[in-house]
């Protein structure tokens, strides 16, 4: 599945920070740097890693024209410290760095389409370093192509979407990342644990040294499947509401331009379109009633309790 060395390791007297981990929390990287033992990755995460590896060639084939597969880049940070990583590929025709990621459909729709690469700090840092590393090698770069493979329930990519970025779009600079590593190096020498600037980036192998209360972690596949289903449905619901509101506004504008009687319906194709004028009554001001000496408790409806599920993104 690839290089299984830790995110920070020592090689021939040089401390190597993996480019793929450069966007992680400083405290987590400090823990690797000082030799702390991480907790094991959960099975579901190892499964996701393996699926990403298994689908990489398929995703890159969909982009086409890929060269320099797995070319290693290195960026010196200071004496005895460097970044190192291996790019997925380079597209000669567009002079683009190409990176392949495999997402579950729910992750694609609930997060990537909303935030793009900016919602994934580790990807931002990784791509910044890959681009800088290629330029150090004299490779001409015009843009970044993030090739996102969307997996089915069996972990197999069924379709690939391409997203193009200018390197100016990345909100982290090479200088930012170098300064980050030098802070970690200084903390490793002093023995003082750095703060959690971005607390508990889930999943973290050193959650026990973070400031936040530990949360239960489960590998229940059915619960994860239902959570994915809930989030995907919520995204579709939000998108449908936005589409309906936009279409409704355009319908009203079009009806206003037609010569018709007020409130008259219009048939168009298989649909009957009309506008509705509705007057909403103001809400009862319970506070004012109470201030006026009225016992409002006698007017309240019987209390009911409702239990419902919520699904939030793990950080």
Mean pLDDT lowest for which of 42-51, 53-62, 77-86?
42-51
> What's the average model confidence in pLDDT over 247-274?
85
How sure is the predictor about 147, in pLDDT bands with cuts at 50, 70 and 90? very high
SS3 313: coil
- Tell which residue, 265, 282, 262, 281, has the closest CA to residue 273: 265
**In the predicted model, is pLDDT for residue 30 greater than 60?**
yes
pTM comes to 0.67
**Higher local confidence (pLDDT), 279 or 257:** 257
pLDDT at 274: 87
**Higher local confidence (pLDDT), 176 or 303:** 176
pLDDT at 299: 67
Quote the strand ranges of 35-156, DSSP E: 66-67, 72-78, 81-86, 89-91, 96-104, 143-151
How sure is the predictor about 98, in pLDDT bands with cuts at 50, 70 and 90? very high
**Vertex 152 angle, CA 147 and 154, to 5°:** 120
**In the predicted model, is pLDDT for residue 96 greater than 80?**
yes
SS3 248: helix
Of all helices (H) and strands (E), which one includes residue 132?
helix 121-136
Assigned token pair, 142: 């015009």
User: β-pairing, 143-151 with 96-104?
Assistant: parallel
> pLDDT (tens digit, 9 = 90+) per residue, 229-252?
888 888 888 888 888 888 888 888
b/e map 30-50, b = 16+ CB within 10 Å = bbbbeeeeeeeeeeeeeebee
């Amino acid at each position: 599945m690839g290089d299984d060395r830790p995110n920070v390791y020592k090689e021939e007297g040089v401390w190597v920070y993996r480019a793929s981990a450069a966007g992680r929390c400083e405290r987590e990287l400090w823990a690797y740097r000082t030799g702390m033992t991480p907790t094991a990755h959960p099975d579901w995460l190892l499964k996701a890693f393996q699926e990403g590896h298994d689908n990489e060639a398929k995703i890159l084939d969909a982009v086409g024209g890929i060269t320099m597969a797995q070319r290693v880049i290195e960026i010196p940070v200071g004496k005895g410290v460097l970044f190192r990583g291996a790019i997925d590929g380079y597209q000669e025709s567009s002079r683009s760095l190409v990176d392949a990621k495999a997402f579950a459909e729910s992750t694609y729709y609930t997060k990537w389409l909303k935030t793009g690469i900016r919602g994934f700090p580790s990807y931002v840092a990784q791509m910044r370093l890959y681009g800088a590393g290629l330029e150090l090698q004299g490779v001409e770069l015009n843009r970044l192509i993030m090739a996102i493979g969307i997996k089915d329930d069996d972990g197999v990519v069924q379709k690939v979407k391409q997203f193009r970025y200018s390197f100016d779009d990345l909100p982290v600079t090479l200088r930012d990342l170098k300064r980050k590593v030098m802070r970690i190096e200084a903390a490793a020498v002093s023995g003082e644990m750095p703060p959690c600037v971005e607390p508990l980036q889930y999943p973290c192998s050193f959650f026990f040294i973070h400031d936040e209360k530990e949360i239960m972690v489960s590998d229940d596949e059915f619960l994860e499947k239902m959570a994915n289903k809930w989030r995907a449905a919520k995204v579709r619901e939000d998108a449908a509401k936005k589409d309906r509101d936009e279409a409704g506004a355009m319908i009203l504008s079009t009806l206003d331009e037609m010569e018709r009687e007020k409130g008259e319906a219009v048939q168009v194709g298989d649909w009957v379109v009309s506008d509705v004028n509705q007057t909403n009554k103001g809400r009862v001001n319970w506070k004012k009633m109470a201030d006026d000496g009225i016992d409002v408790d006698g007017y309240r409806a019987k209390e009911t309790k409702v239990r419902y599920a919520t699904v939030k993104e793990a950080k």
